[in-house]
Amino acid sequence: MVYKEFGKTGIKLSSLGFGAMRFPEIFDDNGKFVSIDEEKSIPMMHKAFELGVNYIDTAPAYVHSKSEAMVGKALKGWRDKVYLSTKNGMDDASYDKWMKKLENSLKELDTDYIDFYHMWGIGLEAFKTKVDVKGGPIDAAFKAKEQGLIKHISFSFHDKPENMREIVDSGYFESVLMQYNLLDRANEENIAYCNEKGLGVVIMGPVAGGRLGEPSKEIQDMMNGKSKSTAECALRFVLANPGVNIALSGMSKMEEVIENAATASIEGPLTADELQKVAGSLSENKRLAELYCTGCDYCLPCPQEINISRAFRAMNYHKVYGLTSLAKTEYSHIVVHDKKKQADACVECGQCESKCPQKIEIIKQLKETHEALHAL
């Protein structure tokens, strides 16, 4: 296992972190959740620890709010060897409620302290109105740290990339958890900035929430075919970023634990030549993707309620990255989740094309998209 200095904390952490949000589950005959499968989940965590993983991340709501308790069980006998991360949701700016949530997590985890405690999923607005307020959560966090209940104050981030720096510059935080992967590189500059400012950087979604789990010749070719799977390529890409300390992977199978630990044990995940090739491929992929859409949404709203940008994002997965199964699923979600219409609803009114700053042939590409992706 490769270990890296974690910001200015003085701690060395494994480059692979165990994300405790995808444990195998047990359901009843009606498909209702019963419990986490303890007989599978605890051995997975113990195997990860044995392979050198020394960072585990959970949260109160993960896996039907049962994840923290399961992690607590797995840490018996390992607590002094593994660094524990969990989170506190920012419902409001209450000092007392924040402290109560911390007490609940300590109880669920059956531990006296938490190593990395996150202000959960905050953006700039929440930071200003719910965190950085007098007598609020940040004061509570420093009090908890003083009492030894938490060791390091952290935050996880889901806001627009340009909104992160002000939070970092507050000086309150020692580490950050953010999104970054082959399909979403929006936080690349933030990774470098946080590294420069001395924050430990943990990446969530290195395999894009499982979306990079399916085979893709296009992605594997970026790395000269050296990786055994697309998922391995995705993990190696994240770990190759010098500003990344930990890639946090939500694992649900023992095979994933073993494969990911092996990948995180490769010294120098990518050579200079491989990095150059990946950078070139990603640049070309971005150019190809923008032939379909940049996602600016100037074309919306569509009079026929077609979700144009999501349709084209799905087409990018298929045409640019070779992730056809993912693309078809994404395309189906336009109806299932968005309650919008697919590309075949187009009546060729042309309103979208008149508003597109890229001058994309939207009507033509909607037809191509539906033809390629409509059948699962």
95-131 per-position pLDDT tens digit: 999 999 999 999 999 999 999 999 999 999 999 999 9
Token pair, residue 268, equals 């120098």
* CATH match of 3-274 with 3.20.20.100: yes
Largest pairwise CA distance in the chain: 66
The rounded mean pLDDT for the chain is: 89
319-353 per-position pLDDT tens digit: 777 788 888 888 898 887 778 889 999 999 999 99
Residue type, 151: K
pLDDT at 182: 79
**Considering only 114-118, 128-132, 213-217, 257-261, which range has the smallest mean pLDDT?**
213-217
Does residue 212 have a pLDDT over 90? no
| pLDDT band, very low/low/confident/very high, at 289 (cuts 50, 70, 90) | low
pLDDT at 69: 98
| pLDDT band, very low/low/confident/very high, at 179 (cuts 50, 70, 90) | very high
pLDDT at 144: 98
Rounded average pLDDT over 61-80: 97
Question: What pTM, to 2 d.p., does this model score?
Answer: 0.79
Gap between the terminal Cα atoms of the chain: 40
**Considering only 129-138, 148-157, 310-319, which range has the smallest mean pLDDT?**
310-319
**Considering only 33-47, 157-171, 237-251, which range has the smallest mean pLDDT?**
237-251
Q: How far is CA 27 from the centre of its chain?
A: 26
**Considering only 37-41, 268-272, 340-344, which range has the smallest mean pLDDT?**
268-272
Between residues 269 and 75, the one the model is more confident about: 75
Rounded average pLDDT over 135-144: 97
Q: Where are the domains of the chain?
A: 3-274, 293-373
Rounded average pLDDT over 129-138: 95
Residue 361 φ/ψ, nearest 5 degrees: -80, 75
Q: Which of 155-164, 179-188, 284-293 ranks highest by mean pLDDT?
A: 155-164
| Whole-angstrom distance, CA of residue 231 vs CA of residue 221 | 13
Spell out the alpha helix ranges (H) of the chain: 38-50, 62-65, 67-74, 95-109, 124-126, 137-146, 164-169, 188-196, 217-222, 230-240, 254-263, 272-292, 308-319, 324-336, 351-355, 362-373
Residue 249 bridge partners (DSSP): 18
